[in-house]
Amino acid sequence: MPLVESSDYRPPFIFRNTYVNTIYTSLVRKVEDLIYTRERIDTPDQDFLDLDWADKGNDRLLVVLHGLESSANRAYIKGLIRWFNLNGWDGVGMNFRGCSGENNLSLRTYHVGETSDLQVVLEHILRLNRYHTIALAGFSLGGNVVLKYLGEQGEQIFPEIKVAVAVSVPCHVPSANIEFNRRRNWMYLRRFLKTLNHKMHEKAAQWPGHLDIKTPNPRSFDEFDEAFTAPVHGFQNAEDYWTRNSSLQFIPNIKVPTLLINAQDDTFLSPQCFPEKEAKEMPNFYLAIPKWGGHCGFYSPTKDNVLWSEKTALTFVEQMTAN
């Protein structure tokens, strides 16, 4: 029964406030002692993906996917890679299309269930013939991509991929969107839509005549996904996009040890985003649901600037790859 019903995460009192934990870890925390080397790879559709490497010459690799409108340069990505670097792993942050500081070339970008680009990245990494053990990690949207990818691949997954960790994942997207539309999340929604709407108009200018924007300034994910994400990526509408890309339905087909960490106080998540039934029934799917943590928070007051979630992820990965 890989449901972790208790947790050793006990943050300082002020960080038991979900907003403090989320905002501090996202916007205040710094990870300055990790230097990347950027690599650009081509995609089959004549576009590109930017990878940020922390290469220490190890034969084990952590591949990390960021969240919505984020990048591999954010502290929560760099912090996890840094911690793995210090413990004998190379690391690489995958930037989704349009998230590395430069617009991508094609009309399509990335979305909550876009797994083909991850496949391209993994194929590129395996061609390097350097790593016998690969761990996947994803945060929020990136976590949904990781879980969906693992379930899609099932028994056919690359044998080098041994283990995965996903953090703060809205694995049931339709109900998570309902939660996100609540008043308590208005500041997050406003921040996301500011950059999403800007990118949508840039795409319309980049591809004249290919995008009919009926809602020029969406004020919710419902409106944005209806106006842009669904039509650009071939879905019937926003509801079709959310339903087909929720990773929850793919979890039962995951074949490698996988840990999902979702905090109970995460205001982005709905009750359906805590798949306790799957964790109780599946021998290799682990669910940790600490009482606190916020969204991609899990602040820990340690001198080494390592989050509780980072230490938990490494412990799990090391345990599952020990043999």
Residues in the chain: 323
Judged against a pLDDT cut of 80, whether residue 7 lies above it is answered with no
Hey, is 238 helix, strand or coil? helix
Instruction: Supply the pTM of this predicted model.
Output: 0.97
Judged against a pLDDT cut of 90, whether residue 4 lies above it is answered with no
Judged against a pLDDT cut of 80, whether residue 5 lies above it is answered with no
Average pLDDT over residues 9-38: 95
Residue 119 sits in the same domain as residue 263:
yes
Q: What stretches of the chain adopt beta strand conformation (E)?
A: 3-4, 37-42, 48-54, 60-65, 90-94, 133-139, 161-167, 258-261, 285-288
Structure tokens at 270: 């709905």
Given a contact cutoff of 8 angstroms between Cβ atoms, the answer to whether 263 and 297 are in contact is yes
Model pLDDT for residues 26-80, shown as the tens digit of each residue: 999 999 999 999 999 999 999 999 999 999 999 999 999 999 999 999 999 999 9
Residue % of the chain over a pLDDT of 70 = 98
Q: What is the Cα gyration radius of the chain?
A: 19
Q: Sorting pLDDT into bands at 50, 70 and 90, what band is 278?
A: very high
Domain boundary, last residue among 192, 211, 245: 245
Amino acid identity of residue 25, one-letter, is: T
Residue 240 sits in the same domain as residue 252:
no
How far separated are the first and last CA of the chain, in Å rounded? 21
Domain boundary, last residue among 245, 262, 284: 245
Residue 240 sits in the same domain as residue 251:
no
Judged against a pLDDT cut of 50, whether residue 1 lies above it is answered with no
Per-residue b or e along 301-314, where b marks 16 or more CB atoms closer than 10 Å to that residue's CB = eeeebbbbbbbbbb
Residue 10 sits in the same domain as residue 93:
yes
Judged against a pLDDT cut of 50, whether residue 133 lies above it is answered with yes
Helix (H) or strand (E) holding 90: strand 90-94
**Distance in angstroms (rounded) separating the CA atoms of residues 125 and 134:** 10
Given a contact cutoff of 8 angstroms between Cβ atoms, the answer to whether 149 and 242 are in contact is no
Structural domain range at position 290: 3-172+247-320
